[in-house]
Structure 1
Amino acid sequence: MARNKFDIDENLESPFDIRHFKRALVYIKRQKRPMIVALALSVLSAGIGLTAPLIMQHIVDVTIPAKTVGALVGWSALMLATIVISVALAAVRGRIMTSVGQDIIFEIRSDLFKHLQSLSFKYYDDRPQGKILIRVVNYVNSISDVLSNGIINFILEILNLVFIAAFMFAVDVKLSLVTLAGLPVFALFLLLIKNKQRRSWQAVSNKNSNLNAYTQESISGVGVTQIFTREDRNEAIFTRLASNYRQEWMRAIHFNAMIPFTVDNLATLVTTLIYMVGLLALSPQDVTFGVILAMSSYAARFWQPILNLSNLYNGFVNSVAYLERIFETLDEPVSVKDAPGAKALPQLQGRVTFDNVTFGYDTGSSVLENLSFDVRPGESIALVGPTGAGKTTVVNLISRFYDVTGGRILVDGHDIAQSTLQSLRSQMGIMLQDSFIFSGTILDNIRYGRLDATEEEVVAAAKTVRADAFIREFEHGYLTEVNERGSKLSQGQRQLISFARTLLADPRILILDEATSSIDAKTERLLQQGLNELLKGRTSFIIAHRLSTVHNCDRIMYISDKGIAEAGSHDELIEKRGLYYKLYTAQKMEMVV
């Protein structure tokens, strides 16, 4: 799959085979009982409906010639009853299968979401969000009918064909053979277009995914678009992607439409042959007009299940393209997970050791090489250095968002690769560069990582980071509703709320990645007062480009050239007049200017 590109089609890493459909049957088996009831109702409905041509034959050949009005009314009423009962049973079956279809959607979507929650950061680094989202929503919706109604209808239509064929041969064998004459032609036609049809729906899936990815990206970045007046250019890109989707859709529909067109024409041809053979080739002693009428009705009914099966085949081919994507996502390996026999960490003291750690995001290149250092419990560590040197990588490895490619990381002497993720991360407070705010109240956002926290504890955390004052300025205070990503809040306010959320978890190891990057100098001074209290007794890692925020850290590590270029306290590094000194004095000069 082309990574992070909305205009390049995805290449399937595991093409569809019958095993995918067998896996889909797992979801169907969970709905076995209601599906059996629905199938029974369908069979009963179909069986009752098939008696109508026989009743019609009797009326034409016996009742009408006898001119018995009472019998005609009685047979007509019986025929009407069969139609009403058949429709009523089909309606009940429809309601059952609607519920089954929604249950299947729920289970597949739940499994997808659960799996996506367990995938590592690397999976999301490599893929546009829109191409992930479309699999959870659109593709699951598209396959639900095939996995529910499709199975029932397939069995039902096969039974219909058997029943209709039995009724036809019971009425007249020769005309029944005429009806079956079109089947070899139809089978040959399906064989010729099968592969083209499947490839066309794969192309539709690709173009739909591309369009969804670009739409999601454009909505997320609409502010930047308007700032740089890119509306016309973006509209042109969207139009091209939408046009590509339309083109592939029309091509796929062309193949789909060929099937009912062929069935309709074959059914018409067969019906014509029945009349020609019945009226011209056979004598009145061999076949009555009532028989011809009944056989023409059965011929139409015989080809209707074939048309329905063709539509089901169309639906199956369409769904195959979506099942491929869904199961590809479900088969995505969880690269960061609990190792076999992993043990829960005890209450941490906060000692962190890097032992010859090497790591790279891509095979063949590394960000860190043979990195080693030891942090004592309660020590505060500042990570500074040029952009892209690996500062955020260090804290991501401590949190085990990625696994090291060499060496090991120890917390209180325990290898985190052999410890459970829950016991590690639950004792860490992490605030990343992206201050993500969820839709809901400010109270809910602060309490996100600790649902049992009281309102008083939430307020205390907010006061510590100096967020309480601005929160109370809102009309509804802590119960103020915020939009997705906190669009009603300033960047600084979002960071303070995220900071309060992290502090409320009362972590033993605290990680702050550019925690004060969008906070003004006045607020930063207030925040620093709260941080000084918070950091007591906790091991902390602080990444900051603004070096004024790391003066008081116990140790400052300058990350460069895939390792630690120099380390020491602020005063020690200033006295050393090395890389940190140059960076610090450069920032001071910028502030003066």
Structure 2
Amino acid sequence: MNRQKEQTTDTSAQEQTSKRSVSAKSFRTQKDETLEKGKKGSADWYIASRLIAYIKPYKALVAASAGITLAGSILGPLRPYLTKIAIDDYIAHGDMKGLATISLLLAAVVLLDGIKQFIATWLTQIIGQKAVFSIRMDVFRHLQQLPARFFDRNPIGRLLTRTTNDIESLNEMLSSGIITILGDIMQLLFIVGLMLWIDWQLALVVLAILPLMLYATMMFKKRVRIAFQDVRTHLARLNTFLQEHIAGMTIVQLFNHQKSEYTKHSDINADHRDANIRTVFYFSVYYPFIEVLSSLTAGMVIWYSAVRVLNADLTLGVVVSFVQYIWLFFRPLQHLSDRFNVIQTAIASSDRVFRLLEEKGGEGDAGAEPEPFVFRSRITFSNVWFAYDTDNWILKDLSMEVRRGEKIAIVGATGSGKTTIINILSRLYPYAKGSIRIDNVELPDIASRSLRKMIGVVMQDVFLFSGTIRENLAFGNPDLPDEAIFEAARIVGADRFIDQLPGGYAYRVQENGAGLSAGQKQLIAFVRALLYDPQILVLDEATSSVDTETEMLIDAATAKLMQNRTSIIIAHRLSTVQKADRIIVLHKGVIKESGSHQELLKEKGLYYKLYLLQHPEGR
């Protein structure tokens, strides 16, 4: 009967594993097809469609800004036309009254153009800031849902670049890019239309240079985009290097490695500099080329106009207006090239940001707060396999059971898989094969928020956030009353050092608890776990970095913390696990022994050898 039950369990576990594998495979296939479909033909259009989704909620502002910009784009081209009228109709005939009227009209056009620019700039900046706010929130929300494996393979500096520099590039494009480009294009159309209306022959002279300019612009766009992608890549490398080395500066100094690390930084910085210089080169060639073309066009117009003026076939007002139109014609084109700087940077940044958002998320829970999960009976590991890397199995066919209210200790050498058990139980990492059940409910079927509310972990390396002592203590439940926090600190014994800090519980913790000792941070972690009030308490090497006096203080607090709770203790020092109900000995991901302290000593197996290494007097 038992054998049949085990076979049924194994079959069920294999089915669950198969379902997870198929699901993951289907997700990857679907994601790849989506990306291929979205980016097919033009990555620019794909990125634009993603950005438009963030602008849609502000379509009223976009419509107002676009309407004002497009309607006002006629104001600039009107000025040369009014100048032509002033010269040919009023100055040439000595009509001072008409000249005064046209001058007032010209001043009104200039004033309206200034007002238009103010309103359009104000609206586009608001749109950009609102859209970028939404993007930042989506990126941070997504980062919180990504699995731990993602952060293992992505350096912090690279992620910081995505969430700061890259998103800021989007802000520049959304604030001053798209609508401004539309306004410049509309202004070009008005300029061309008015030039053709005034004198189509001179207009053709101006437009003759356009194909060459468009070709130069397309070549410029192609090369500058590649250059800006290189800039963003090298910037991410630079940020990653700086973040790692600032965090690890003490190690660099202790090992006297400043010179070699300076050389590495110099190489990375040089790559970033060279990438920027390439972009500067393209701009330094493109801008003068546009200036030369505009000057050549002006010269051709003046030469051709002079011939026609001498033949009495052209008025002076037309010539003056066309000279003005030439500069107006090339100004929007120069603006467009300026926008290429912003747009190409934003496209490269957008690609990186959206790739981050397309990363497969963890098993985060969407929607309302899930129902709490009450642990009633047991946690069952059945034939569990796990590997951080594909072929390097950390846990191998692991089967064990933890009953409610039981105090379990897991011991073994470094790398045996002790902490890995907690990582997969907390669902930070998905196991590859086998099954984990809590009260006969498969682990993946439990909402992650409910699962992690049920499990409280005290790690060896305590992480503290910038803020007050109180905020760090109540991190899992910020609405706790002060009395509960003070009582928990008193139970653990942390109140002794907290009361001595400047400001007490209002003391501002520096980055990652700098200024506090390892023992003090560990005590804060114990208070935090007590206030979190978990059903399952995990102590992962929680006393390995504290002194003997603090360890004794923690041992007393731990006894109270473990009352009426299922507890899992992971430890190297066997002195901390001797009172456990059951001790599990791991070796290279396999359970070698299981029993109480005395039972394992009598067996004289692996646990006995570990005990003698730490207590040679017991020989």
> Are 1:166 and 2:203 counterparts?
no
Mapping of residues 180-579 of structure 1, within 5 Å? 180-280=207-307, 283-337=310-364, 344=371, 346-349=373-376, 351-579=378-606
Contact 1:197/1:255 (<8 A) preserved: yes
Contact 1:442/1:478 (<8 A) preserved: yes
Mapping of residues 2-21 of structure 1, within 5 Å? 16=43, 18-21=45-48
Give 1:455's aligned amino acid: D
Separation (CA, whole Å) in 2 of partners of 1:576 and 1:280: 113
Separation (CA, whole Å) in 2 of partners of 1:350 and 1:152: 62
| Secondary structure at 1:358 match in 2 | strand
Answer with 207-216 or 25-34: which moved more: 25-34
Give 2:317's aligned amino acid: G
Give 1:190's aligned amino acid: T
Answer with 566-575 or 79-88: which moved more: 79-88
* Deviation (angstroms), 1:434: 2.3
* Count of aligned pairs between the two proteins: 579
Q: Which residue of 1 aligns with 2:121?
A: 94
* Deviation (angstroms), 1:531: 1.0
Give 1:444's aligned amino acid: E
Q: Which residue of 1 aligns with 2:66?
A: 39
Contact 1:350/1:508 (<8 A) preserved: no
Contact 2:457/2:538 (<8 A) preserved: yes
Separation (CA, whole Å) in 1 of partners of 2:63 and 2:365: 40
Answer with 490-499 or 80-89: which moved more: 80-89
| Secondary structure at 1:367 match in 2 | strand
Deviation per CA, 1:103-136, whole angstroms, max 9, x where unpaired?
Answer: 1111111110000000011011111100011100
Separation (CA, whole Å) in 2 of partners of 1:31 and 1:249: 34
Separation (CA, whole Å) in 2 of partners of 1:446 and 1:125: 27
Separation (CA, whole Å) in 2 of partners of 1:412 and 1:445: 32
| Secondary structure at 1:50 match in 2 | helix
Separation (CA, whole Å) in 2 of partners of 1:485 and 1:569: 38
> Are 1:25 and 2:52 counterparts?
yes
Separation (CA, whole Å) in 1 of partners of 2:233 and 2:186: 36
* Deviation (angstroms), 1:474: 1.2
User: 1:537/1:31 Cα in 2 relative to 1: closer, same or farther (>3 Å)?
Assistant: same
* Deviation (angstroms), 1:523: 1.3
| Secondary structure at 1:332 match in 2 | coil
Identity of aligned residues (%): 35
| Secondary structure at 2:499 match in 1 | helix
* Deviation (angstroms), 1:70: 4.0
| Secondary structure at 1:59 match in 2 | helix
Separation (CA, whole Å) in 2 of partners of 1:393 and 1:264: 65
Separation (CA, whole Å) in 1 of partners of 2:366 and 2:307: 79
Deviation per CA, 1:419-451, whole angstroms, max 9, x where unpaired?
Answer: 110111111111223200011110110000012
Out of 149, 156, 181, which is 2:176 matched to? Answer: 149
Contact 2:252/2:258 (<8 A) preserved: yes
User: 1:100/1:77 Cα in 2 relative to 1: closer, same or farther (>3 Å)?
Assistant: same
User: 1:350/1:126 Cα in 2 relative to 1: closer, same or farther (>3 Å)?
Assistant: farther
Separation (CA, whole Å) in 1 of partners of 2:284 and 2:561: 68
**What is the TM-score normalised by the length of structure 2?**
0.89
Deviation per CA, 1:184-243, whole angstroms, max 9, x where unpaired?
Answer: 112222343443322211111110000000111111112222222333332222222111
* Deviation (angstroms), 1:337: 4.3
Contact 1:336/1:403 (<8 A) preserved: no
User: 1:256/1:28 Cα in 2 relative to 1: closer, same or farther (>3 Å)?
Assistant: farther
| Secondary structure at 1:66 match in 2 | coil
Contact 2:407/2:582 (<8 A) preserved: yes
User: 1:333/1:166 Cα in 2 relative to 1: closer, same or farther (>3 Å)?
Assistant: same
Give 1:58's aligned amino acid: I
* Deviation (angstroms), 1:17: 5.2
> Are 1:78 and 2:105 counterparts?
yes
> Any gaps of 5 or more consecutive residues in structure 1?
1-12
| Secondary structure at 1:31 match in 2 | helix
Contact 1:573/1:580 (<8 A) preserved: yes
User: 1:419/1:484 Cα in 2 relative to 1: closer, same or farther (>3 Å)?
Assistant: same
| Secondary structure at 2:74 match in 1 | helix
Separation (CA, whole Å) in 2 of partners of 1:192 and 1:36: 32
Answer with 71-80 or 439-448: which moved more: 71-80
User: 1:53/1:98 Cα in 2 relative to 1: closer, same or farther (>3 Å)?
Assistant: same
User: 1:175/1:477 Cα in 2 relative to 1: closer, same or farther (>3 Å)?
Assistant: same
Contact 1:57/1:293 (<8 A) preserved: yes
Q: Which residue of 1 aligns with 2:32?
A: none
Q: Which residue of 2 aligns with 1:6?
A: none
**What is the TM-score normalised by the length of structure 1?**
0.93
Deviation per CA, 1:273-329, whole angstroms, max 9, x where unpaired?
Answer: 111111125654321121011011112111211222222233222222111110110
Separation (CA, whole Å) in 2 of partners of 1:339 and 1:486: 32
Separation (CA, whole Å) in 2 of partners of 1:522 and 1:390: 29
Separation (CA, whole Å) in 2 of partners of 1:109 and 1:257: 34
User: 1:414/1:344 Cα in 2 relative to 1: closer, same or farther (>3 Å)?
Assistant: farther
Separation (CA, whole Å) in 2 of partners of 1:484 and 1:175: 68
* Deviation (angstroms), 1:147: 2.7
> Any gaps of 5 or more consecutive residues in structure 2?
1-34
| Secondary structure at 1:224 match in 2 | helix
Q: Which residue of 1 aligns with 2:26?
A: none
